[in-house]
Chain A
Amino acid sequence: MNGAHDLGGMHGLGPITREPNEPVFHAEWERRAFALTLAMGAHRRWTIDRSRFAREDRHPVDYLASSYYELWTKALERLATEEQFLAPGEIEAGRSLAPPPAHTKAPLAAADVAPMLARGTRHDRPVAAAPRFAPGDAVRVKVAASPLHTRAPRYCGGRKGTIHAGNGGYVFPDANAAGKGEGPQHLYTVRFAARELWGDAAAANDSVFIDLWESYLEPAR
């Protein structure tokens, strides 16, 4: 979807505000919201792609007016509700009003935090088909208007670039976020001349590199 999260190339969003000696978190609730999100993710009832969609799939005014961890919290509430970890009215009541769902497993234990983080979650996958594109190939990003999750930013839609690198197969976020399975595809790093994206005002020798899945691309001349 081309929601308010799809920010590349938007004007009018103001100066970059930096904070000297910025703390990792700015309030206790941010700490808890961050940790709750990771701990609930450990139940493995949703993927990172579905999480991203839950954060971005909201009214642009809501997205832009929410701080970062507010967005995380809203997404966590939505995902937990969809998976019946959270029942309507429970946040307002501040207590459990319904038992946890039958699929509930043991919560993430403190002792498992370090191993879980060190392990991470790999997203590369074997893809049987040979890559359609090779480094140096000219490609164009297809114009798409899906209202669902995608990782093709709108600013490169219809633009022509060159394959910089093939990265092998990766989980395809558009399918995975929609619950259609991982559908892995070849992932490419595509180089775009800054002037192809932004016109003559951009510097002649600058470029933008974007990681794009095979089905986002078509051959170009």
Chain B
Amino acid sequence: MSGAHSHDHDHDHDPPIAARVKALEAVLTEKGLVDPRALDALIDTYEHKVGPRNGARVVAKAWREPEFKTWLMRDATAAIASLGFTGRQGEHMRVVENTAAVHNLVVCTLCSCYPWPVLGLPPVWYKAAPYRSRAVMDPRGVLREFGVTLPDSIEVRVWDSTAELRYLVLPMRPAGTERWNEDRLASIVTRDAMIGVALCDAGRAA
């Protein structure tokens, strides 16, 4: 059961929702409305094929190749598609760049909008009420909760994904990584850094 709600229910037992979803699948399958093999393929896609490794490739390439970065900032959808990451919940991409003067943070206060092709499905905290309520109102407090303390001199920009534009943060490239290849760079680009709740750290390289 999702961590965000474990504090207000007891889910040690098999929850009624599990039986309800099972019955729903049985009925829709019996009626020929869903093919269970398609369900398996959908699940497999987001459990095993699509995830933040995709976004890390985008970031690492942008860090190494100025021309790609220019393209990414101008037309993120096309630049990201050139790496093979397209489609559902990433149809209209925007990339926002962290610099020495600006830090960006992405939220969806109204639901759970998130760039699936580059980050996969969102973590529970991103979809849950505490983050959605406070990211726009107290981004510096939220960042501190994630262990990131920004000096007052840095401008914080919060992007509330209220439309079909999907935002990806281009984190700052850590010092000391100038000679790294793309694989090594990608290994320090985390999901949280691409949401904007973490910084990239050269110390965690693979």
Interface of A with B (CB < 8 Å)? 5-11, 13-19, 22, 24-36, 38-40, 43, 52, 55-56, 64-65, 67-70, 73, 76-77, 80, 85-86, 90-96, 99-100, 104, 106-110, 112-114, 116-124, 151-153, 155, 167, 170-171, 173, 187, 189, 194, 197-198, 202-203, 205-213
B66 within 8 A of A: no
Most B CB within 10 A of own CB, among A16, A77, A210: A16
B106 to chain A, nearest CB (A): 10
A91 close to B34 (CB less than 8 A): no
A contact patch SS: mixed
Known contacts A80-B28, A207-B157; is-contact A35 B43 (Cβ 8 Å): yes
Q: A17-B125, A116-B88 are in contact. List 16 more A-B contacts (CB 8 A).
A: A17-B124, A18-B125, A18-B146, A24-B46, A32-B22, A32-B39, A65-B8, A68-B124, A90-B23, A91-B23, A95-B30, A96-B27, A120-B86, A124-B164, A206-B158, A209-B157
Taking a contact as CB atoms under 8 Å apart, the answer to whether B28 and A206 are in contact is no
Which of B56-64, B67-75, B136-144, B172-180 makes up part of the contact surface? B136-144
Q: Which residue of chain B has the shortest Cβ distance to A99 in the bound complex?
A: B31
B16 CB, nearest partner CB in chain A, Å: 10
- A28, A29, A64, A212: which contacts B162 (Cβ < 8 A)? A212
Question: CB of B10 within 8 A of chain A?
Answer: no
Q: How far is the CA of A10 from the CA of B131 in the complex (A)?
A: 10
* CB atoms of B45 and A113 under 8 A apart: yes
Residue pairs across A and B with Cβ atoms less than 8 A apart, 25 shown, are: A6-B109, A7-B110, A9-B109, A9-B137, A13-B134, A17-B4, A17-B130, A26-B1, A36-B25, A36-B28, A39-B42, A40-B33, A85-B31, A90-B23, A91-B24, A104-B33, A107-B34, A110-B38, A116-B88, A118-B86, A119-B86, A119-B88, A153-B160, A197-B136, A212-B163
Establish whether residues A55 and B158, one from each chain, have CB atoms under 8 Å apart when the complex forms: no
B1 to chain A, nearest CB (A): 6
Q: Are A76 and B24 in contact (CB under 8 A)?
A: yes
- Option from A67, A202, A203 in Cβ contact (under 8 Å) with B4: A67
Per a CB cutoff under 8 Å, which of A11, A33, A96, A209 touches B30?
Answer: A96
Judge if B121 is at the interface, Cβ distance under 8 Å.
Answer: yes
Q: Are A90 and B38 in contact (CB under 8 A)?
A: no
**Bound Cα distance from A211 to B196, whole angstroms:** 18
Question: A106 vs B206: C-alpha distance in the bound complex, in angstroms?
Answer: 46
List the A side residues contacting B21 at CB < 8 Å. 29, 32-33, 36, 73
Min distance, Cβ B75 to any Cβ of chain A, angstroms: 12
Query: B171 near A: Cβ within 8 Å?
Result: no
Partner of A155, one of B131, B136, B159: B136
Neighbour of B156 across the interface among A6, A171, A203, CB < 8 A: A203
- CB distance A108 to B30 under 8 Å? no
